Amino acid sequence: MAEQATILLVEDNAINCEMLARRLTRAGFRVVTAADGEQALRLMASEAPALVLMDMNLPVLDGWSACRAARQDPRLKGIPIIALTAHAMETDRQSALAAGCDDYATKPIDFPGLLAKIQRLLPA
């Protein structure tokens, strides 16, 4: 894992966002947060994060649409995205992957499992 890799955490629930951001920071990451899909796309362009953790149920622009938009933008399409959702159905996982997400994690978050996914997707 790269030292101080930046992760963009996109989560509209302030408590969930703060809790996960704190854990990621303790794990050695720099964390930038967004509360909706439009803000996420702007921060992806300006912050160039190493990875994005994207809630799928967001206001303004949902995570599905934000992922699809990121994959259409040449500046953003190479940034790995892990979908975060409360939906645990296999069809939801397939929908996230079809939208352009690189992986999928269900809420409540299994933090060790999420860290393993992050480390697998981070650029070497």
Give the CATH number of the domain where residue 100 resides: 3.40.50.2300
124 versus 82: the higher-pLDDT residue is 82
| Predicted model pTM | 0.94
Residue 105 lies in a domain: yes
At 7, give phi and psi (nearest 5°). Answer: -115, 130
pLDDT at 105 over 50: yes
pLDDT at 2 over 50: no
Average pLDDT, the chain: 93
Residue 88 lies in a domain: yes
Report DSSP state, residue 47: H
Residue in 28, 35, 24, 107 with CA at minimum distance from that of residue 43? 35
Report the distance separating Cα 4 and Cα 35, nearest Å.
22
Residue 1 lies in a domain: no
Report the distance separating Cα 116 and Cα 57, nearest Å.
23
| pLDDT bracket for residue 1 (50, 70, 90) | very low
Domain that holds residue 97: 6-121
Residue 85 lies in a domain: yes
| Chain position carrying tokens 């397939």 | 94
| pLDDT bracket for residue 90 (50, 70, 90) | confident
71 versus 124: the higher-pLDDT residue is 71
Is the distance from CB of 104 to CB of 83 less than 8 angstroms?
Answer: yes
29 versus 124: the higher-pLDDT residue is 29
Residue 18 lies in a domain: yes
Q: What percent of the chain has pLDDT over 90?
A: 83
Residue 36 lies in a domain: yes
Report the distance separating Cα 35 and Cα 73, nearest Å.
20
**Structural domain tally of the chain?**
1
pLDDT digits (tens, 9 = 90+) for 59-80: 999 999 999 999 999 999 999 9
